[in-house]
Amino acid sequence: MPGSGDRGAAWARWLGTGLLGLFLLPVSLSLEVSVGKATTIYAVNGTEILLPCTFSSCFGFYDLHFWWTYNNSDTSRTILDGIVKNEKSDPKVKFKDDERISLEGSIKEKVNNISILLRNVDFSDTGKYTCFVKNPKENHAGHNATIFLQVVDKLEEVDNTVTLIILAVVGGVIGLLIFIMLVKKFIAFVLKKTQEKKKECLVSSSGNDNTENGLPGSKAEEKPPTKV
Ligand X SMILES: *[C@@H]1O[C@H](CO)[C@@H](O)[C@H](O)[C@H]1NC(C)=O
- Measured from the CB atom, the residue of 57 and 115 that comes closer to ligand X is 115
Smallest gap from residue 22 Cβ to ligand X (A):
23
DSSP lists the bridge partners of residue 127 as: 149
Whole-angstrom Cα distance, residue 5 to residue 12? 11
User: Judging by beta carbons within 10 Å of its beta carbon (0-12, 13-18, 19+), is residue 208 exposed, middle or buried?
Assistant: exposed
- Measured from the CB atom, the residue of 111 and 201 that comes closer to ligand X is 111
Whole-angstrom Cα distance, residue 44 to residue 48? 8
What number of residues does the chain have?
228
> Is the distance from CB of 126 to CB of 151 less than 8 angstroms?
yes
Smallest gap from residue 50 Cβ to ligand X (A):
6
Smallest gap from residue 58 Cβ to ligand X (A):
18
Exposure string over 158-176, b if 16+ CB within 10 A, otherwise e: eeeeeeeeeeeeeeeeeee
Smallest gap from residue 72 Cβ to ligand X (A):
8
Residues that bind ligand X (CB under 6 A): 45-46, 50, 52, 54, 69, 71, 76, 104-105, 111, 113, 115, 128, 130, 141-142, 144, 146, 153
Whole-angstrom Cα distance, residue 84 to residue 135? 10
Whole-angstrom Cα distance, residue 49 to residue 64? 25
- Measured from the CB atom, the residue of 81 and 142 that comes closer to ligand X is 142
Cα end-to-end span (Å), the chain: 110
- Measured from the CB atom, the residue of 10 and 111 that comes closer to ligand X is 111
- Measured from the CB atom, the residue of 128 and 137 that comes closer to ligand X is 128
